[in-house]
Every structure is written in structure tokens, then in C-alpha cells.
Amino acid sequence: MAKAVGIDLGTTNSVVAVFEVGEPVVIPNAEGGRTTPSVVGFSKTGEVLVGEVAKRQAITNPDRTIRSVKRHMGTSWTLPIDGKDYTAQEISARILGKLKRDAEAYLGDEVTEAVITVPAYFNDAQRTATQEAGQIAGLKVLRIINEPTAAALAYGLEKDDEEQAILVFDLGGGTFDVSVLEIADNVFEVKSTSGDTSLGGDDWDQVIIDYLVKTFKDNEGVDLAADKMAIQRLKEAAEKAKIELSSLQESAVNLPFITATSEGPKHLDLTLTRAKFNELTADLVERCRAPFEAAIKDAKMSVGEIDHVVMVGGSTRIPAVQELVHSLTGKDPHKGVNPDEVVAIGAAVQAGVLKGDVKDVLLLDVTPLSLGIETKGGIMNKIIERNTTIPTKRSQTYTTADDNQPSVEIHVLQGEREMAMYNKTLGKFQLVDIPPAPQGMPQIGVTFDIDANGIVHVSAQDKATGKTQSMTITGQSSLADEEINRMVKDAEAHADDDKRRREEAEIRNQADALIYSTEKLLKDQGDKVEAEQRSEAEAAVAATREALEGSDMEAIKTATERLSTAAQGISAKLYEAGATEAGGEEASPSAAANDDEVVDAEIIEES
Amino acid sequence: MSEDLNEAVLEESEPEDVTGEHSEQLEVDPFAELAAERDQITDALTRLQADFENFRRRSNRELSEASSRGASAVVLSLLPVLDALDLAAAHLGESAEASAEGLALVQARSLLLDSLAKQGLERLDGAPVVFDPQIHDAVMHAEGEGEPTVVEVMRAGYRLGELVIRPAMVRVEG
């Protein structure tokens, strides 16, 4: 099925995204990049190069390489190449064409429709030109939307019922835009726009490059600005430092053999602190202030009336820029969507809405916490893990803990702790009238079924009789987010403790099981067992029982080992005897050797 | 201007509203209504299934890509080390193997290159060759006769498997 994509056709870089399987995703280009430089080159051999590749050949082919064509959209600008005059929309169409091809390769499907974004200040002619560019590229343009609107859509800000005022702060590679939007009843209105068409992230890089060049000149007396290779390396280093300084307090710039003099090679090695970076770029940050204030003023609003702040463009990751926005608005901006991709994401959401994909998608929820039942020893046995997408249905088979156990209690739990007592009880019910049988023999199938509304149906069935008992738990997901977080954190904090308790419970369960099987062995086969072995086994059973009364885990382990050795001794003797008897009764298969999966956990007997 | 900027972003099309306001009460065939609803749901399900199929296919592909990308991230972080060794070796030139330190450096460099080559790293440093922006990044250019040609590799490029992880930085003539 043909897809509709969202395209951020930017001045410096472009991004394409698609709404798929319920969420918007950015489509990487053929070179593996998530953004594609908005550069087009016509090679001398007649090839058309777009993106990174066009950028790399630009210097060899300057007259036939076009950057920032967006600045010419809607004007009569043309570029003659090989006797043909190319318009801005024809050049833009080349960029769109590459995005379309790469998206098709990625999706394995045809892409025929698109939502394309434009700056809020674009006039009719510029919008029409953008639409034409889409058509030339073979795309049906479903809609042209404003970049700030797309950014707001990416954050789902239209979903609020009340009228909202949104400030979008967009600091791109080479342009800066501030827009104030108002949204009511799903209609966005741009109240004002302002900006600076020659301010962007590249300016921050340049400041670092200049600083490095100057420092090197002061220290070494060599001007790196004249050295093309040195400048290229400085550019890369500057960008890396800028990115590192968004999360670190300092960044090391280390460029060995940056140049050579008659004295030998020279190395550039210095540390740039965030404080120094902030000092160097203070003027640039300050230049963001006036457009911001103009936008607020033109919208005839006060800063206090702004409900949401959305950041767009990679340069809004710079801490000083974030601090400025925070100090100007008094608000924390929305976070979570990559600011380089937020516009394309929003365009993809719009495409999804227009194509009906968004409506069709059932918004699937997940279980916030694990669900399970209590098994022997107070252990919580999880049946549905947290963050499982619902609706879902899971079953497990359990068995009884005692001989002739007439009923089992299904204690339904919610939470992340290993031990039942620390989790939340959602409900309890009994499955009764289990026919008398040795422990481990009955098979109780327990099924958890969560429907799309988060309602949990728990049923337990005795597979021998088909007798079923069930209960329905509603509103299990109505726990407040804080409570869910608290429970998850609690489980993490107590993970070690819980693990130890669980191990203890398991050791006890094991000891219990061994006592049971040894006593059964003595009862059934006692007459064939030598008196000495028999008394040792009986003593070992008594010792294990006694150890179980206490809380010394080592004592229980030791006693269990002794019991295990004694029981194995008896079994070995019995097998020997059986083998010589030839044709002796085969040992009865254990209850667990059934086709169904039997979990090594038993439901506690009703108390 | 502000007229232009208004845009209704979300489509609200609820056909029920239309019939509700209709003046004459139309007989609604409950079966037709159910059939329509069924078709709608079947359509939604088919779309979802198709999406899921595509998604699964791509997930498989991305899984293998992700592991090679993981490798390329490691290799990429080692490139500055290779560059430094290249520059040091170039600086020492012919005299490199004359001193013990120089020899150690040359050997360490070729050991690193060999190890990475075994991981599929291919060095792009041929010259003179025809300029190809797929693998070359031109930072200097001089007009000349004929096809654009790489006359000097200023910093080697690298290809890992199919992917050019860094183009060679080159000087071009022509």
C-alpha cells in the first residue's frame, strides 16, 4: 500500500518521516544519515547529485552546485545549466526526489503523497512554489503546513481541548525563527513570526574555529586559516566540541600534526570549557533575544500567556540557548523528540491523519506492572510481565503442594517484587473440589486475559475435571503514575533482598518436596529397604523437618543434602534389586512428565 | 496574511453527524450498517497486518544493519588514531625505520590497519584517480584539463563493508 510521508524541506538539511504502525519514524537516507543536506550538484558528466555527495563535490563544481535553494523559493531566480534554466522549485524537486527514492527503498513500497513543511512566514508564492516542487518530484502534496505547527503536532499539543498558546523556538543550521501559535478546536493559527535569516548553529561552530585559530596563532605563530586541510580538521573538531559541551563541562580538542614549520610538526592540543564557550558565544545567544521579544509583541501577548514552549533545530541543545529560553519564558520546553527531526515527525503525523492511518490505529496500551499469582513459599510467579502490550492472554499450569489437597487459592498479584507479600493484591479466589491426588499430580491451568480496556480476567481450571473458577478485575490500570513508578523503583531498590528471600523460599520448597518424596518412598517400598538405610532416611527426614522449623538456611541446606544422599542410596538399592528381579514394576513416571508445561512452583494450599 | 496562515490541521469527518441532521428519517438497514462496520474493521486489520509484515521484514534487515553500525561506530572512533599515526609516519618519512621509535610507530600503525582490515575496513587513499564524490570529499580544487582528478589524498577515507564511513579528504584538479 502506497505511503504518505512527511517532509521537512529545510534550508540546510532536509528530513523525511513516515507514520507507521502507530507512530512516526524518521527514514534514514541511502547513506545511512537521518538528515540529508539540501544541496544539489550537476556534475559535468550530466549526473545529478543530491545531499552529502553533492556537498563533497561542491568546491570542484561551484557554478553547478546549489545550496540553500529554499531562500530562492517563490522568486524568479533561475540557474542556467547546460543550456537549461532551472527554477528554484526544479532544484527543490531534486531534493524531494532523493528523499522519495530513499523512503521507497526503506519502506519497500511506493511513496506517492507527502505533507511538506514551510516556514510560517512563507507567502503564497513561496508556498505555491513548494507545492510545485513536490509535483515535479512526482509527489501529490496533500498539504503544505507551517514548520512550527508541525513541531507542535509532533508533541501532540493539538490534543488539549482548551485554547493554547505555543511558542516555537527554531534555531537551525543557518536560520533562526520564533513563532507564536494559537490552537483551538484543532485549528492552528500563527499569531506572529520573527527571526534572523542569518543566525544559526554554523555561527557557533565558526566562533570555536576562530578561537582555535587565534589561540594557535598566539601560541605557535602559525596562521591555520590559510591551510585548507587544517581548516577542515578544525571544522570537524569545533562541531565535536560544541556537541560535547552540551553535556559535558569541558571538551578536549586534540589535533596532532595540524601543521608543520621549519622547526618540525606542530600539534594543537587544548581544552575548551563550557564557561569559555559560553563567553565566546554570548553575543550569538543575545541575538536570539530581540526576535523573541518581537514575536511576543506582534502576537499581542504577554510572556505569561504562553502555555507551551517547543524547541526545534539541533542548536537548541546548546545549554546557553536553553537557559536563555527558560529565562525569557519561565517555562521548561517540551522535550523528547529530537529537535533536528521534530518538524518532519510532525509532518508525518499530519500525513497519517490525512490518510486516516492515525484514526485506524488502535492506540494500544501496555500493562504498567507485572501480573501473576502467589505460589508456594510466598513467591510471586509472574504470568504477564510489565510493559506487555494489551490485549493479551497468557496461561501457565500449576499443581498442588500437598497430597489430597482439595482446593487451591488463586491470589492475583500486581507488582515487581519477587515476594508476594510486597506486591498489591488484586483479588483472591478458590478453585475447590479437586479430586484426591498425590501432590504434584493435579494440573491447574491458570489463564490471565487482559482486554483492550485493561480489564483482567483470571481463570483457573482443574484439567482433570474441567472445573473452572474465575474472576474479573476492573480498573487495575487506574493506579496513579506516581504509584506505578514507586512500585517499580521499590522493586529495583529491594532486588537483592527479594532475590535472597526468593532463594530461601526455594530452598525450603525443595526440602519440603524431598521430605515428601522420601516418606512416600519409605511407605511404598519400605519393606524392601534395609533397616540401616531406613533408619538413616528417617533420621534425615526428622533432621530436615527440624531445620525447617528454624531460620538457619545453611542448616536447612545441610539437612537437605543429607536427606538427598539417604534417599538416593535407597533408590539405588531398589533399582539394583529391580534389575535382578527382571520384569519388576517400572518406576511410575512423575507427574511432571506430562505434555503440558508444568511450572516448578506450586499453589499454596488454602489456609 | 494571517488568513493564509490559518490551517485546519485535523480532519474531523464523522458521517453519523450528517445523517443525524438529515431532515427525512432514512431507514437504516442494520445489516448494511454492520456490514459497513465489518468492512471498515477488516480494512483496518489488513492495513495493520501489512504494516506489521513490512515492519517485521525491516526489523530483520535493521538488526543486521545495527550490528554493522555498532562495529562502524567503534571503527569511526578509532579513525582519529589512525589519522595521527598516518601523519606521524608521513612526518618521519623515509627516516621512519632508522630509529627504534620510528620503527615501533610504523609497526604499530600497520598492525592496527591489518586488524581493522580483517573487520572489513577498506582504506580509500588511491591517487591519482578520477574524483568520485561517493568516496572523496574535495577540500581544495585547481582548474585543469580534462576530468576532475584526485591529485593528493590529504586524509585517507574508509569504507566498512558497503558503507563509506568517511570519505577521503582530497585535492582535486580539473
Q: How confident is the model at residue A79 (pLDDT cuts 50, 70, 90)?
A: very high
Say yes or no: B44 contacts chain A, CB-CB below 8 A: yes
The two beta strands, A39-42 and A48-50, are antiparallel
Q: How confident is the model at residue A603 (pLDDT cuts 50, 70, 90)?
A: low
Say yes or no: B54 contacts chain A, CB-CB below 8 A: yes
Length of chain A: 607
Nearest to B9 among A231, A233, A350 (CB): A350
pLDDT at A38 over 80: yes
A254 contacts in chain B (CB < 8 Å) = 80
B139 and A149 within 8 Å at the Cβ level: the answer is: no
Q: How confident is the model at residue A16 (pLDDT cuts 50, 70, 90)?
A: very high
Q: Which pLDDT score, from 0 to 100, does residue A435 have? A: 86
B81 contacts in chain A (CB < 8 Å) = none
Taking only residues 82 to 121 of chain B, the set having a beta carbon closer than 8 angstroms to any beta carbon of chain A reads 84, 87-88, 90-91
Length of chain B: 174
Say yes or no: B139 contacts chain A, CB-CB below 8 A: yes
Residue type, A242: K
Residue of A20, A49, A56, A164 best to disrupt the B interface, most CBs of B under 10 A: A56
- Give the model confidence (pLDDT) of A268-327 as tens digits: 999 999 999 999 999 999 999 999 999 999 999 999 999 999 999 999 999 999 999 999
Q: Which pLDDT score, from 0 to 100, does residue A604 have? A: 54
- Give the model confidence (pLDDT) of A205-253 as tens digits: 999 999 999 999 999 999 998 888 889 899 989 999 999 999 999 999 9
Q: Which pLDDT score, from 0 to 100, does residue A479 have? A: 62
Average predicted confidence (pLDDT) for chain A: 86
B149-155: strand order across its sheet: B129-130, B149-155, B168-173, B136-142
CA distance A29 to A99: 7
CA distance A192 to A195: 10
Say yes or no: A1 contacts chain B, CB-CB below 8 A: yes
CA distance B33 to B30: 5
Say yes or no: B45 contacts chain A, CB-CB below 8 A: no
CA distance A491 to A503: 16
CA distance A184 to A171: 26
Task: Find the mean pLDDT for residues A183-196.
Answer: 87
B131 and A41 within 8 Å at the Cβ level: the answer is: no
Q: Which pLDDT score, from 0 to 100, does residue A505 have? A: 86
Residue A600: CB atoms within 10 A of its CB come to 14
Taking only residues 89 to 128 of chain A, the set having a beta carbon closer than 8 angstroms to any beta carbon of chain B reads 106-109, 120, 123-124, 127
| Coil/strand/helix, residue A422 | helix
The phi-psi region of residue A463 (left if phi > 0; otherwise alpha if psi is between -120 and 50; otherwise beta) is alpha
Q: Which pLDDT score, from 0 to 100, does residue A598 have? A: 45
Task: Find the mean pLDDT for residues A404-429.
Answer: 88
pLDDT at A111 over 90: yes
Q: Residue A491: CB partners within 8 Å, gap ≥ 6?
A: A415, A416, A417, A498
Q: Under a CB-based contact definition with an 8 Å cutoff, are residues A402 and A439 in contact? A: yes
pTM confidence score: 0.68
Say yes or no: B142 contacts chain A, CB-CB below 8 A: no
Q: What is the DSSP string of A28-97?
A: P-TTS-SSEE-EEEE-TTS-EEETHHHHHHGGGSGGGEEE-GGGGTTS--EEEETTEEEEHHHHHHHHHH
Q: Which pLDDT score, from 0 to 100, does residue A11 have? A: 93
Q: Which pLDDT score, from 0 to 100, does residue A364 have? A: 54
Nearest C-alpha of chain A: how many angstroms from B123? 18
- Told to judge if A596 belongs to the known catalytic residues of this protein, a careful annotator would answer no
B121-124: strand order across its sheet: B121-124, B157-160, B163-166
Phi and psi, residue A602, nearest 5°: -120, 145
Q: Which pLDDT score, from 0 to 100, does residue B16 have? A: 42
pLDDT at A14 over 70: yes
Q: Of A18-22, A138-142, A386-390, A424-428, which gets the smallest average pLDDT?
A: A386-390
A313: β partners: none
Among A70, A100, A242, A266, the active-site one is A70
Residue B34: CB atoms within 10 A of its CB come to 10
Local mean pLDDT, 10-residue blocks, chain B (174 residues): 42 41 60 88 80 78 75 85 89 78 88 90 91 93 87 92 89 90
Q: How confident is the model at residue A400 (pLDDT cuts 50, 70, 90)?
A: confident
pLDDT at A397 over 60: yes
Q: Under a CB-based contact definition with an 8 Å cutoff, are residues A566 and A536 in contact? A: yes
Omega cis (within 30) before A438: no
pLDDT at A101 over 90: yes
Among A147, A158, A177, A357, the active-site one is A147
> Which residue did the predictor score with more confidence, B157 or A161?
B157
Q: Under a CB-based contact definition with an 8 Å cutoff, are residues A567 and A517 in contact? A: yes
> Which residue did the predictor score with more confidence, A387 or A49?
A49
Say yes or no: A54 contacts chain B, CB-CB below 8 A: yes
User: In terms of CA atoms, which chain B residue is nearest residue A144?
Assistant: B7
